[in-house]
Amino acid sequence: MKSNSSYFKTDIQAGLVVFLVALPLCLGIALASGAPLFAGIIAGVIGGIVVGLLSNSQLSVTGPAAGLTAIVLAAITSLGSYQVFLLAVVMAGIMQILLSLARAGTISNYFPSNVIEGMLTAIGIIIILKQLPHAIGYDADNEGDFFFIEKGTGHNTFSAIIDAINYAHPGAVLVTIVSLAILIAFTKITFLKNLKVVPGALVAVVAGVILNELFLTGGSSLAISSDHLVRLPVPAGFDDFIAQFSLPDFSAISNPEVWITAVTIAIVASIETLLCIEASDKMDPLKRYSNTNTELFAQGTGNILSGMIGGLPMTSVIVRTSANINSGGRTKTSTVAHGIFLLLAVLLIPTILNKIPLASLAAVLLMIGYKLASPKVFKHMWSNGRNQFVPFIITVLAVVFTDLLKGVAIGLVFSIFYILRANLKLAYFFKKEEYHEGEVVVIRLAQEVSFLNKAAIKQTLGHLPENSRVVIDASDTFYIDHDVLAMIRDFNQVTSKEKDIQVTLKGFRDDYEMEESLQHISTNK
């Protein structure tokens, strides 16, 4: 297994890409939430550095989330003061820590993979649809809005795209085309693919800045105005910078609305985080498992600190996490680096960052969206059969046309229906036995195994010590759920090799496509 230090260079590069993606999202989400723009940056910095260090997840990236914008906007209005709202954020963080101590994070084990796949694919589609207007220079909808029905205008995602066509800016279109060409070149041309010095996303963004500066210098009509560039707050001096921070109003602790807001934020933020953690583990090339209870503790700590200095509430965020993984991030170094880059950018180069065209960033996000919603994903899910594909496609449609939590809830209902229809009696058994060859853990699968057994089997496999031996026996089994098969396959092909665990697979049917390995260990005493 590679040491974390061996990934340092690619992690820093990934952190830089995540920073470029996170910057406009932090600002856009703050704007959509009715909060100060700097509040989004505060949450992004704390989410990257503090939560990144405390989290057990190697890949997830935390920051202000689009899914909380409606809650934050309504809360700030109803509470009458941003400082009172900050108190609710602090209290929500405390509640998340209590949830972690109550081990509430284990509920993530019960999210079926077809629903998680559907959620990721839907997020990819949403990214593409939401970035198309920015890609052609129409920025009426801010970067933080990921809802189908757009707030304030009453328009939906599709009508916004149609409106955008009527207001397309030739300069923005050209910047997008150039940026996309660079990004595609970095994935197709061998020389550029092997170029480890700079990430393609950075080259694309720099090219966009240079191109627009040339337009501005030459007085061209293609020049992109400041309305279509990143707009990071630029303080006039140190006093102005300090004035951007706010303290919570603790005198409102007895206000029932503050408690209701805190509970709402704690529940929604925790669910979104657990969904993202499960998704990031699924996308992890190294197939590692994250401790979700530790994650809730990290998120709670982050929200307490964010609320104490004027920041927005945060969650683990799929868009930034996907950018991290697709850019080569492999350890939490990339997450922490993105937070450090955000902090340095605010302190040192806000004026330079305000030259970045949103069209260039839209190109980066379009590539991320395409990778999440690639046609290969649909083909893969279709090949897994109707029981997997139907809940998957329903989740995709539900998330795209409603929002993340509602869409996942709808997908879960359909997934559970198909599972219950397939089998009702589900179990597995395991015991640890001593043989003269060494210590062996025997896991005997029952006649029917569904995703409801996923948590227990996952926990058993996750707690196996290094250099141990395990026998997974499916001789008596005639049904194994796709999720469990995928987990066993990942364990056999990746995790076991990382931990030097010898695996013996017995009795798996040919159509399960498992590579059986018999190591001549008798499992009968």
pLDDT digits (tens, 9 = 90+) for 205-262: 999 999 999 999 999 999 999 989 998 889 888 899 999 999 999 999 999 999 999 9
Position 328 in a domain: yes
Q: What is the CATH number of the domain that holds 469?
A: 3.30.750.24
Please give the average per-residue pLDDT across 77-81, as a whole number: 93
Please give the average per-residue pLDDT across 187-203, as a whole number: 84
The span from the CA of 238 to the CA of 242, in Å, is 6
Q: Which domain holds residue 474?
A: 428-512
Q: What domain count does the chain have? A: 2
Q: Do 444 and 337 share a domain, yes or no? A: no
In this predicted model, which residue has the larger pLDDT, 393 or 150?
Answer: 393
| DSSP structural state of residue 469 | E
**Most confident segment among 133-147, 242-256, 510-524:** 242-256
What is the reported pLDDT for 519? Answer: 46
Position 396 in a domain: no
| pLDDT tier at 518, thresholds 50, 70, 90 | very low
| Helical (H) or strand (E) element with 440 | strand 438-445
What is the reported pLDDT for 428? Answer: 55
**How many degrees, rounded to 5, is the angle at CA 343 between CA 93 and CA 14?**
95
User: The whole model's pTM is what?
Assistant: 0.79
Position 369 in a domain: no
Q: Do 446 and 325 share a domain, yes or no? A: no
End position of a domain, from candidates 308, 326, 342: 342
| pLDDT of 147 strictly over 50 | yes
Position 517 in a domain: no
| pLDDT of 525 strictly over 80 | no
What is the reported pLDDT for 442? Answer: 85
What is the reported pLDDT for 315? Answer: 97
Q: Do 470 and 336 share a domain, yes or no? A: no
| pLDDT tier at 429, thresholds 50, 70, 90 | low
| pLDDT tier at 450, thresholds 50, 70, 90 | confident
pLDDT in tens, 262-306: 999 999 999 999 999 999 999 999 989 899 999 999 999 999 999
Strands 438-445 and 428-435: antiparallel
512: buried, middle or exposed (CB in 10 Å: 19+, 13-18, 0-12)?
Answer: middle
**How many degrees, rounded to 5, is the angle at CA 145 between CA 51 and CA 228?**
105
pLDDT in tens, 3-38: 567 899 999 999 999 999 999 999 989 988 899 999
- Please say whether the beta carbons of 175 and 318 come within 8 A: no
State CA 115 to chain mean position distance.
15
What is the reported pLDDT for 361? Answer: 93
End position of a domain, from candidates 320, 342, 364: 342
Q: Do 23 and 128 share a domain, yes or no? A: yes
What is the reported pLDDT for 164? Answer: 83
End position of a domain, from candidates 319, 342, 365: 342
What is the reported pLDDT for 205? Answer: 95
What is the reported pLDDT for 221? Answer: 93
Q: Do 62 and 157 share a domain, yes or no? A: yes
Position 363 in a domain: no
Share of the chain above pLDDT 70, in %: 91
Position 375 in a domain: no
- Please say whether the beta carbons of 225 and 354 come within 8 A: no
- CA distances (Å), origin 463, targets 20, 59, 243, 401: 37, 21, 49, 40
What is the reported pLDDT for 498? Answer: 87
Q: Do 134 and 268 share a domain, yes or no? A: yes
Q: Do 139 and 266 share a domain, yes or no? A: yes
Position 291 in a domain: yes
- Cβ contacts of 523 within 8 Å, gap of 6 or more: 433, 440, 442, 471, 473, 506
Position 23 in a domain: yes
Residue among 322, 317, 302 nearest 366 (CA): 322
pLDDT in tens, 468-496: 888 898 888 878 888 889 899 999 989 89
Amino acid found at 14: A
The span from the CA of 21 to the CA of 26, in Å, is 9
| pLDDT tier at 522, thresholds 50, 70, 90 | very low
In this predicted model, which residue has the larger pLDDT, 152 or 309?
Answer: 309
What is the reported pLDDT for 488? Answer: 92
- Cβ contacts of 414 within 8 Å, gap of 6 or more: 390, 391, 394, 395
